[in-house]
Structure 1
Amino acid sequence: MPDPPSPRRTHPVVDAFFPDVTDRVPFGGLHGADPLAFRVYEPDRVVLGKRMEDHLRIAVCLWHSFNWPGSDVFGVGTFDRPWLNPAAEPMAAARAKLDAAFEFLQKLGMPYFCFHDRDVAPEGNSWRETQRILDEIIDDIGRRMSDTGVKLLWGTANLFSHPRYAAGAATNPDPEIFAVAAAQVKSMLEATQRLGGENYVLWGGREGYESLLNTDLAREEQQLARFLALVAEHKHRIGFDGMLLLEPKPQEPTKHQYDYDAATVLGFLQRHDLAGEYRVNLEVNHATLAGHSFHHEIATAIAGGIFGSVDANRGDPQNGWDTDQFPGSVEELSLAVYEIVQAGGFTSGGFNFDTKLRRQSMDRTDLFHAHIGGIDTVARSLLVAARLIEDGELKRLRNERYAGWNGELGRTLLGETDLDAIAERVLGGDIDPRPVSGRQERIENLVNKAIWSVDAETASVAGARAG
């Protein structure tokens, strides 16, 4: 039996920031006329024995959606965001931002959110004052979570925006900055625990280099390893039950970032005796920047035993930077979701929408349109993945390709033997290999069939409901 839905309540909103959306976003079906309704996403729909909401565990991020005014390097903010009034008193502005965020979270109806410390709490004039401000805001967030039933998928510390972190946090050449960063992570890890957060993320946006001419690579790797060891030690000391997650990215804002991709992180963790302490939070756009498909990154992390969570978005193949667009390609996501579900699904991770509106999408309601479309894309990808799993042909063909390794020769080669024995067996004529087809095109057709059949079924169900 699927788990019962989690309790979430929609409270009446006074002076609403999103007046065009008066209640929770409904399910409207594929042919529904309401643009502010889900076409595919149904939280209670059972897929492979589990509710869709429990498969996907979708979260909204506070940074891009509520902290970004729509600015870029060429221009100021374009968005209508009254909660970002720079003339407002800082704590009043922080609470207005939370008002807007929790109104949105309730109306969108997703179970989780994610945030950095600086997304919600401004820095004070001293570390002590900064800590007091964060504690006060965390108490406020806790009350709002209790009132609404919305949960925290993960928290994190912003170790990249302040000028002190221009040369990195853990990898900074100044040990005093390392110390401040460590204190900031300690504070935010404990805040995440207070709020019942299910994971803690570290994104090393400035843990890399701009030039090798002034960089000691060996020293910076040791510093990063020490920093991560300290965080893992503190996690165990305070009894935090969630996963620690590293988020790979190849570059931007640095020229080169040390946790380049999933394989790089795996090697780093093994090299520094941190395997088992950390997993990865994989972002679609970061995979694009690293020259990989998202499917590749997910499969690599699962094979290495370090898969944890996902930042759902997409990049633009024409741009060489992190565009963080809302996901819109079922073809891109379906095989990644297939790997996740085939491997047992998320434990404490989920799909966090680390996504940005385009600067010309200025209306507040555009946040709803964007999230609805992205969530429907992920939901359709889940249905395609489920179809592939139920059909079983993709898994059967993959297993069949390696069937020889289950035979006597395969077991011997992977067991007790040496090169002399292997060569003698080849010379004796016992081995006469013949290449066989990899059947790639046949398998690609299976994937297309799953996509098309889900599309046809969705349209059929929508038509029946409309009738």
Structure 2
Amino acid sequence: MSTGFFDGIEPVKFAGGDSTDPMAFHHYDADETVGGKRLEDQLRFAVAYWHSFAWEGGDPFGGQTFQRPWYPQDSMANAKLKADVAFEMFEILNAPFFCWHDADLRPDQGNFADNLSTLEEITDYIGTKMEGAKTKLLWGTANMFSDRRWMSGASTNPDPDVFAFAAATVKGCMDATHKLGGQNYVLWGGREGYETLLNTDMGAELDHMGRFLSMVVDYKHKIGFKGQILVEPKPQEPSKHQYDYDAATCIGFLRKYGLENEVKLNLEQGHAILAGHSFEHEIAVACAEGMLGSIDMNRNDYQSGWDTDQFPNNVPEVALAYYHILKAGGFTQGGTNFDAKLRRQSLDARDLIAAHVGGMDVCARGFKAAAAMLEDGGLENALAERYAGWQDDRARAMLDSDLASIQKRVLDEGINPQPKSGRQEILENWVNRFV
């Protein structure tokens, strides 16, 4: 039986580029073959439970603006209604995946035992809904940043009882993710950092965080979970400085604690910008190390300077991101999760559907541009030409040589190199042909 929340909104169809229907796909045809696979299988879209259903429309300067039939989110009855609405939306969008935090699914009971009980109850309920639905679970995670108990971190907390509460919470969330057939499990350390070094033992906190993540990996193998374990970089907000600052920082951390073969990265567009990087930079760093797992697709407002989590609308940015993903072989168990929310003035159910339609279309358009760029080979040819000198046997042998031998060669051969153009503008013009 319908909840009535989406009354009057039909399942979204592909209408093509000539359509003016704002509730239709213009570029995303799930069955279109791009890069050798169906577009749905390439992009692997996921709806974020937290922003779409749990977020109430507040911001740092004002409270709730949305009025939903499952508010207040303080009872299991409303949690089940929220799940009913969510699966109605998944069907309207024909969404292949969704993602959740435990706190999105069930009301906080104030103690671990009851939180675990209600999590098990609601994920059993969601499991029954998944039996009759197409939509699968891309990943689950634990919210260990919102409640006041996490104000000084979770695995990095100076209080060992909070560490224990965090470990118990993650075990419950991993069990729930495994039960629902999740393809990944994510850890986002929203408060794994510090406000001031005056009261922080950074070395101890990093060691505790590394040990915690090792426990997660051990438990994954113990229960036979076949999904990827992912960590998500972010430089700041809510903490002043978070230990998982960016992709390179996370990779260094994983290598330090011997986890580089067990854990990959979940990268977010908005977090990349906060770290002073582009999204394609973060993706390229992860791909270079074979550690890209999945992505959260959104954007920030470049004037505001903070994490606004808006739906993507910049095709060139998206195209360059997917270019690096495709170049590295595309997604395996990861996907494109819309970690994005409506503006707090966008109150209606129709807005929620339209936001996802637009985001999916932008991603499809960008992905098709990326595939076309890769097929054309222009960037690969330019790279090959720029680095052609390293194909010379003497150049490669130099890497196994020493400074004294190299200096002798420079003197003997009178080597005096002249700069060569990087041709950046020409390459930017080439990209613009596709986007």
Deviation, 1:281, is 0.5
Residues 246 and 282, structure 2, Cα contact 8 Å, conserved in 1: yes
Residues 45 and 338, structure 2, Cα contact 8 Å, conserved in 1: yes
Residues 157 and 185, structure 1, Cα contact 8 Å, conserved in 2: yes
Pair 1:128–1:15, CA change in 2 (3 A): closer
Residues 112 and 169, structure 2, Cα contact 8 Å, conserved in 1: no
The counterpart of 1:199, out of the listed 184, 197, 208, is 184
Would you say 1:262 and 2:247 are equivalent positions?
A: yes
Deviation, 1:125, is 5.0
Deviation, 1:284, is 0.4
Count the aligned residue pairs: 435
Instruction: Give the equivalent residue in structure 2 for 1:462.
Output: none
Deviation, 1:128, is 2.2
Instruction: Give the equivalent residue in structure 2 for 1:282.
Output: 267
Q: Structure 2 stretches of 5 or more lacking a match?
A: none
Residues 208 and 256, structure 1, Cα contact 8 Å, conserved in 2: yes
Q: Structure 1 stretches of 5 or more lacking a match?
A: 1-12, 452-467
SS at match of 2:298: coil
Residues 16 and 103, structure 1, Cα contact 8 Å, conserved in 2: no
Pair 1:74–1:125, CA change in 2 (3 A): closer
Instruction: Give the equivalent residue in structure 1 for 2:418.
Output: 434
Instruction: Give the equivalent residue in structure 1 for 2:58.
Output: 71
Instruction: Give the equivalent residue in structure 1 for 2:25.
Output: 38
The amino acid that maps onto 2:405 is A
Distance in 2, matches of 1:207 and 1:307, equals 21
Deviation, 1:76, is 2.1
Instruction: Give the equivalent residue in structure 2 for 1:418.
Output: 402
Distance in 1, matches of 2:372 and 2:272, equals 25
Distance in 2, matches of 1:282 and 1:224, equals 19
Residues 81 and 364, structure 1, Cα contact 8 Å, conserved in 2: no
Instruction: Give the equivalent residue in structure 1 for 2:142.
Output: 157
The amino acid that maps onto 1:328 is N
Instruction: Give the equivalent residue in structure 1 for 2:209.
Output: 224
Residues 80 and 364, structure 1, Cα contact 8 Å, conserved in 2: no
What does the per-residue CA deviation read over 1:197-235, in whole Å, with 9 as the maximum and x for residues that have no partner? 000000000001111111111111111111111111111
Distance in 2, matches of 1:56 and 1:78, equals 32
Runs of 4+ in structure 1 off by over 4 angstroms are none
Deviation, 1:429, is 1.1
Instruction: Give the equivalent residue in structure 2 for 1:299.
Output: 284
1:13-92 map, 5 Å = 13-22=1-10, 24-85=11-72, 90-92=75-77
1:62-461 map, 5 Å = 62-85=49-72, 90-124=75-109, 126-415=111-400, 417-429=401-413, 431-451=415-435
Deviation, 1:71, is 1.4
Residues 20 and 365, structure 1, Cα contact 8 Å, conserved in 2: no
Residues 60 and 114, structure 1, Cα contact 8 Å, conserved in 2: yes
Instruction: Give the equivalent residue in structure 2 for 1:6.
Output: none
Residues 45 and 95, structure 2, Cα contact 8 Å, conserved in 1: yes
Mean CA deviation greater in 364-373 or 424-433: 424-433
Q: Output the aligned Cα RMSD.
A: 1.2
The amino acid that maps onto 1:277 is E
The amino acid that maps onto 1:268 is F
